[in-house]
């Protein structure tokens, strides 16, 4: 892929929880991690994917008529045979009711800037700007860098929401164009991290220190996931780590939510968090105190 083009799966405007002011978030596709609670499962795979939203389907059957490989069936229920699907997109084209959608489009920096520009007055009025998110936005490093440069050229505030699962070289390239890093720390215990996230946390913790040294302000964000890291000791350990990083003054505790669950269905993925309840408000308040005891500001939610 050329550096000027990337795979974007959404641009969300009037975002008020991912950095200061009114912001637009650009969601880049592709992520090296596989967090079980991921609320954007369509972000994980780097390639565009076909999603099926059953409640939109009017059962017209036109998708099966146009599919050149016979990968689709709608009777008795909808099914895509992903082995046969060539992602030609013909079914999506004829699906006017938008039951079939492509998640992820190839978009140039100029195209994305055209969208972002639309809210420039609101960025200015609110002290907002843009936030790159994903997936892991740094899994498309050159594109992320180009986008951030273009935004800085407009004078906008820039932020990134990252897992920090990337290389030092990549960080070195993007950090000069960033005003704020929203950095996910999920667990300090590597074994547990590997079990729930699919990767080691070693590189993440190391990169966190590196970003701190670089001098860009950091907000540590912790998804609070029952059965994974919602114990006081686990949060305390993350808070201790956070307070040791230069440039970290604030921690956001993001309570687990189930809003992404239906998207697993759209993609025919298994949802491995079934039946798990979001943490209660009292629980979150307790964890907030734990963080504050480490001398950090703490917010629940972004």
Partner 1 sequence: MPTVTVEPSLRIQNLIDVLYEVTPEIEAERAVLITESYKETEAYPMVIRRAKALENILTKMTIVIRDHELIVGNLTTKPRASQVFPEFSNKWLVEEFETLEKRKGDVFLISEDTKAKLREVFKYWEGKTTNELATQLMFPETREAMDAGVFTVGNYYFNGVGHIGVDYEKVLTKGFNGIIAEVEAAKARADKADPDYIKKDHFLNAVLITANAVIAYAQRFAEEARKLAGRTKDVKRKNELYQIADNCENVPANPSKNFYEALQSFWFVQAVIQIESNGHSISPLRFDQYMYPYYKNDLANGTLTAEEAQELLDALWVKFNDVNKVRDEGSTKAFGGYPMFQNLIVGGQTADGRDAVNPLSFACLQATANTKLPQPSISIRYWNKTPDELMFKAGEVTRLGLGMPAYYNDEVIIPSLVSRGVSLSDARDYGIIGCVEPQKGGKTEGWHDAAFFNMAKVLEITINNGLMDGKQIGLKTGEFTSYTTFEEFLAAYQQQMEYLVRLLINADNSVDLAHGERAPLPFLSSMVDDCIGKGKSLQEGGALYNFTGPQGVGVANVGDSLMAIKQLVFDEKKVSLAELKHALDTNFGQGQVQTSPNFSLDQLTQETLVEVIKKLIVEGNNISLDMLKNATNVKVDLGSNKDQEYLRQLLENRAPKFGNDIDEVDTLAREAALIYCREVEKYRNPRGGSFQPGLYPVSANVPMGAQTGATPDGRKAGEPLADGVSPVSGRDKTGPTAAANSIAKLDHHIASNGTLFNQKFHPSAISGQTGLENLSALVRGYFDQKGMHVQFNVVSRETLIKAQKNPEKYKNLVVRVAGYSAHFTSLDKTIQDDIINRTEQAF
The one segment of 8-16, 45-53, 63-71, 210-218 that binds partner 1 by CB under 8 A: 8-16
Which part of the chain contacts partner 1 (CB under 8 A), choosing from 52-60, 155-163, 167-175, 210-218? 52-60
- Considering the rule CB under 8 A, would residue 22 count as an interface residue with partner 1? yes
**CB-CB contact of 302 with 253 (8 Å):** no
If one asks whether residue 12 binds partner 1 (CB under 8 A), the answer comes out as yes
Dist CA 212 CA 202 (whole Å)? 16
Termini Cα distance of the chain: 33
CB of 85 to partner 1, least distance (A): 22
> What CA–CA distance (Å, rounded) separates 179 from 54?
41
One of 1, 2, 3, 58 touching partner 1 (CB under 8 A): 58
What is each CA distance from 200 to 36, 186, 204, 283, in whole angstroms? Answer: 15, 11, 8, 27
Q: Which of 64, 85, 65, 82 is nearest to 73 (CA)?
A: 64
Q: Which residue has the tokens 């949060």?
A: 235
Write down the residue that tokens 């993001």 correspond to.
Answer: 254
Which range in 78-86, 93-101, 210-218, 233-241 contacts partner 1 by CB under 8 A? 93-101
Q: Which stretch binds partner 1 (CB under 8 A): 29-37, 117-125, 177-185, 274-282?
A: 117-125
Is 57 among the residues that bind partner 1 (CB under 8 A)? yes
Q: Which residues bind partner 1 (CB under 8 A)?
A: 12-17, 21-22, 55, 57-60, 62, 96-98, 118-119, 121-122, 124-128
């Amino acid at each position: 892929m050329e550096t000027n083009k990337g795979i974007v799966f959404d641009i969300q405007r009037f975002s008020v929880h991912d950095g200061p002011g009114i912001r637009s978030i650009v969601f880049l596709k592709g992520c090296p991690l596989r967090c079980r609670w991921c609320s954007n499962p369509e972000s994980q795979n780097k390639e565009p994917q076909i999603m099926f939203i059953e409640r939109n389907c009017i059962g017209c059957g036109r998708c099966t008529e146009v599919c050149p490989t016979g990968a689709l069936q709608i009777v008795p229920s909808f099914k895509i045979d992903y082995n046969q699907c060539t992602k030609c997109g013909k079914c999506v084209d004829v699906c006017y009711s938008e039951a079939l959608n492509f998640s992820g489009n190839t978009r140039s920096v100029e195209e994305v800037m055209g969208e972002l520009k639309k809210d420039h007055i609101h960025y200015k009025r609110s002290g907002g700007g843009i936030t790159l998110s994903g997936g892991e936005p740094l899994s498309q490093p050159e594109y992320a860098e180009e986008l951030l440069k273009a935004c800085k050229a407009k004078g906008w505030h820039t932020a990134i929401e990252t897992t920090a699962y990337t290389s030092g070289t990549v960080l070195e390239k993007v950090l000069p164009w960033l005003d704020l890093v929203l950095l996910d720390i999920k667990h300090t215990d590597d074994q547990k991290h590997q079990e729930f996230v699919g990767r080691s946390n070693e590189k993440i913790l190391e990169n966190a220190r590196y970003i701190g040294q670089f001098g860009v302000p950091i907000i540590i964000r912790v998804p609070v996931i029952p059965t994974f890291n919602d114990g006081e000791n686990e949060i305390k350990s993350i808070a201790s780590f956070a307070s040791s990083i230069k440039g970290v003054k604030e921690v956001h505790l993001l309570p687990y939510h189930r809003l992404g669950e239906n998207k697993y269905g759209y993609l025919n993925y298994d949802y491995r968090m079934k039946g798990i309840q979001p943490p209660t408000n009292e629980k979150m308040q307790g964890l907030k105190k734990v963080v504050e005891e480490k001398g950090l500001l703490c917010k629940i939610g972004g």
